[in-house]
Chain A
C-alpha cells in the first residue's frame, strides 16, 4: 500500500481542470515523451512491465509494438466502456482526473505513430463524458491535442464517443463495431485489431487505467515502475471493492498485496457477525474463490494459479447471508441479457443456464440437472466467438463445483416444502 500513483490526492479540488492538473506537473510527461523517439517511448512502457488493466492483462508495451509501421491510417481507441459488474475504477479516475487520461492517450498515440484517437465511454457515464469533453476542449486550446502538439511535428485528433448501453462493447472488437456505428458484435479474430481494427486500419486499444499509468511511467522511467508490484505483475492497481464490505470503494494497491488485506483492512470486510462466503476477484466473470482463498496475493499470476483471474480488478464480496443460487442467477441472467447473440453457444447456452437455474430455484430440478448444467458450461467454454460465453460459464461452473452441496440442499428443501404443502 506504499505507493499511490493514480488515486494520490485525487480528491484535490479542481483537479479536473487543466490549471490544477498542470500545477501538479501534468503534461510534463507528454513534453518528455515528445522529446523522445517514439520507439523509445514504447520501450519505456515495455520496460515497465505494465499489463493491461482492462481484463486480459496483456503487456501494454508489446501491444503497441504489434502495430505495423508506416503511414497508413492508424487508430488509438481508449476503452472506457467499463461494464464488468463490480468495476467502477475508470469512472472515478475519469471523473476526477480526466487530463491524466488525455495525457496518456497522447503519449500512447505518439509511441505508436497514431494520429487519430477515440475514447469510447459507456453511454451511462454521462457526467464523466461531460467532464472529459470539457477537458478535451481545454487540452485542445492549450495545444496538448490537435495539430502540432506542444510545437512538435506530432498531431493527434481525439474524439469522445459515447456508447448506448451494451456490456459487449467492452469487448475490444465489439467496441470497434460499435464505434463504426454498428451493432456491437464481436469480430472473429484473427485478424487482430493491431493489424485490422477500426475502419480496417491498425488499431491500438487500451483501457483507461492502462493509459493513465503511462504519464507516471514516462516520469519515473519504465525500470523504476517495474520495481513496484509482484513478479510478472508490475505496478499498482486500482481495485474496486464492493458487495458485502463495510467500506466499498476504489483502492490503489501494489500488485501482490494479500487479498485479505484489501478486503478486510482497506474495505472493512463483511458486516460484523458475518463471514466471507465467496468472492469474485476480478469482476463477475471471474471464477469465484472462497474464504479459504483470502490469503492469495492479489496479482495476475497468483490468481491464475488459483484457477481464476484478476480481470478488471473488481472484488465482489458475498457473505454468508446470501444463498449461492441467488448469486448464480444474477450472474447468469446478466450474461444472458448481454450476450450479443452472434454465436450459438453463448446465445443459447446463457439462456439455457438461466432456465435451469430458475428451475432449481422453484424446486423442479434434481441433482442430475446440476451435472447437465456443469456440462453445458463446459460446452460453452472455449467454443465461443468471444469471451462473453466463458464469462458466464466460468463463474457458474466454479459455483457448481464449489457449492454443489448448497445447491442440492436447496433442491431438497424445496421438495420437502412441496411435500409438506
Chain B
C-alpha cells in the first residue's frame, strides 16, 4: 500500500488564489453615462425584466442574452447587463458562476456537452467524451465539456450540441460529430432526439 498523501496542494479552483487588484475602482452599479450597451441587447434585457414582477428575476435571461452575443460572460458583458438591470456586476458574477451553462472564460462558438453522468457512463460515455475531446483538440471554435445528466438517458450515451440533443452515439461517431460541426453541417442528423419515438407500447396506437 502506498502511503497516504498528506499536506499536498489540494484541488485548485480558479479564483481562490487571486487577490483583488487594488488599482481598480470598486465595482458599484455601473453609471449609465459610462457604459455603452448595444441597443438590441438593452432591448432584450429590458423585455426580459418586463416579464417579471421584480426585475432581478431577469438575471438568467439577461446573462444568457449577453453570453449569446459575446460568446461568454466577459467582464464587459456582465457590466453591460448590470448597467441595464441596475445591479452590481458582482451580483451578476455571483449568479453566473453558480450555473453550469454560463461561460466565465472565452469559449468556443459551438458547445458540445457530453453527458458523463451515471446512465450515460454505464453505456460508455467516459470514453466517448475522451474521443470527442481528442477530435476537437486545438479547435478554439468548439467547446467540449463533460456535463452532468442532461435528462436524456433513453438515448445514452448522448451529447447536446448547441443545445440540440443527439444519441445514442458510438465511439466512432466522435470524429464525424466534430467534422460535421467544422463544416457547418448539422451533426449526426439521424441521431437527433427530435426524431425518436416513444418506447411505450401505447405511445402510437396507429
Residues on A lying within 8 angstroms of B by beta carbon are 1, 4, 7-12, 73, 82-88, 90-92, 95-96, 116, 122-127, 159, 161-167, 178-184, 199, 240-244, 247-252, 266-267, 284, 314, 316, 318, 322, 326-327, 330-331, 334, 337-338, 340, 359, 362-364, 366, 415, 418
Report Cα–Cα, A126/B199, bound state, in Å.
22
A83 and B202 form a contact (CB under 8 A):
no
The A-contacting residues of B in range 39-74, CB under 8 angstroms, are 51-61, 63-64
Q: Which residues of A contact B140 (CB under 8 A)?
A: none
- A-B contacts, 28 of them at CB < 8 A, read A7-B203, A8-B202, A9-B202, A9-B204, A9-B205, A10-B198, A12-B204, A73-B53, A85-B148, A91-B151, A91-B152, A123-B99, A124-B113, A126-B163, A164-B100, A183-B98, A199-B53, A248-B153, A248-B199, A250-B198, A250-B199, A251-B200, A266-B199, A316-B119, A362-B2, A364-B2, A364-B4, A415-B1
Q: What is the number of contacts between chain A and chain B, taking CB atoms within 8 Å?
A: 199
Determine the residue in chain B with the shortest Cβ distance to A421: B2
Q: A127-B165, A180-B56, A418-B1 are in contact. Are A249 and B121 (CB under 8 A)?
A: no
Q: Which residues of A contact B197 (CB under 8 A)?
A: 11
B200 and A249 form a contact (CB under 8 A):
yes
B56 and A334 form a contact (CB under 8 A):
no
Report Cα–Cα, A366/B1, bound state, in Å.
10
Residue B129 at the chain A interface, CB threshold 8 Å = no
Q: Which residues of A contact B201 (CB under 8 A)?
A: 1, 266
B151 and A122 form a contact (CB under 8 A):
yes
Determine the residue in chain A with the shortest Cβ distance to B51: A159
Q: A164-B102, A415-B1 are in contact. Are A181 and B151 (CB under 8 A)?
A: no
Q: Which residues of B contact A83 (CB under 8 A)?
A: 148-149, 151
Report Cα–Cα, A64/B4, bound state, in Å.
54
Tell me how many residues of B have a C-beta within 8 Å of chain A: 57
Report Cα–Cα, A127/B105, bound state, in Å.
25
A85 and B119 form a contact (CB under 8 A):
yes
B148 and A183 form a contact (CB under 8 A):
no
CB distance from B189 to the nearest CB of A (A): 14
Q: Which residues of B contact A181 (CB under 8 A)?
A: 52, 54-60, 95
Per-residue CB contact flags for chain B residues 165-206 toward chain A (1 = under 8 Å, else 0) read 100000000000000000000000000011001111111111
Q: Which residues of A contact B164 (CB under 8 A)?
A: 126-127
Q: Which residues of A contact B35 (CB under 8 A)?
A: none
Residue B88 at the chain A interface, CB threshold 8 Å = no
A125 and B151 form a contact (CB under 8 A):
yes
A418 and B2 form a contact (CB under 8 A):
yes
Q: Which residues of A contact B154 (CB under 8 A)?
A: 88, 92, 240, 242, 248-250
Report Cα–Cα, A165/B60, bound state, in Å.
11
Report Cα–Cα, A90/B155, bound state, in Å.
15
Determine the residue in chain B with the shortest Cβ distance to A82: B151
Q: A164-B63, A327-B118, A363-B2 are in contact. Are A183 and B94 (CB under 8 A)?
A: yes
CB distance from A76 to the nearest CB of B (A): 14
Q: A162-B64, A181-B95 are in contact. Are A240 and B101 (CB under 8 A)?
A: no
Q: Which residues of B contact A322 (CB under 8 A)?
A: 122
A242 and B148 form a contact (CB under 8 A):
no
B149 and A85 form a contact (CB under 8 A):
yes
Interchain residue pairs A-B with the least CB separation, the first 4 = A249-B199, A165-B100, A242-B153, A181-B59
Q: Which residues of B contact A88 (CB under 8 A)?
A: 151-154
The A-contacting residues of B in range 1-30, CB under 8 angstroms, are 1-4
Report Cα–Cα, A182/B123, bound state, in Å.
36
Q: Which residues of B contact A127 (CB under 8 A)?
A: 163-165, 193-194
Report Cα–Cα, A161/B117, bound state, in Å.
25
- Beyond A163-B99, A165-B100, A284-B149, 18 extra complex contacts between A and B, CB < 8 Å: A4-B200, A9-B204, A85-B117, A87-B153, A90-B151, A124-B151, A165-B102, A179-B57, A181-B52, A183-B95, A199-B54, A249-B198, A249-B200, A251-B199, A314-B153, A316-B118, A316-B122, A418-B2
Report Cα–Cα, A164/B60, bound state, in Å.
7
Q: Which residues of B contact A159 (CB under 8 A)?
A: 51-52
Report Cα–Cα, A83/B167, bound state, in Å.
18
Report Cα–Cα, A421/B56, bound state, in Å.
59
Most chain A Cβ neighbours within 10 Å, of B100, B118, B123 = B118
Task: Say which residue of B57, B60, B153 sits within 8 Å of A316 (CB atoms).
Answer: B153
Report Cα–Cα, A364/B6, bound state, in Å.
12
B57 and A180 form a contact (CB under 8 A):
yes
Residue B156 at the chain A interface, CB threshold 8 Å = yes
Q: Which residues of B contact A96 (CB under 8 A)?
A: 198
Q: A85-B153, A243-B153 are in contact. Are A9 and B203 (CB under 8 A)?
A: yes
Report Cα–Cα, A161/B199, bound state, in Å.
29
Report Cα–Cα, A415/B151, bound state, in Å.
38
Q: Which residues of A contact B119 (CB under 8 A)?
A: 85-86, 242-243, 248, 316
Q: Which residues of A contact B58 (CB under 8 A)?
A: 181
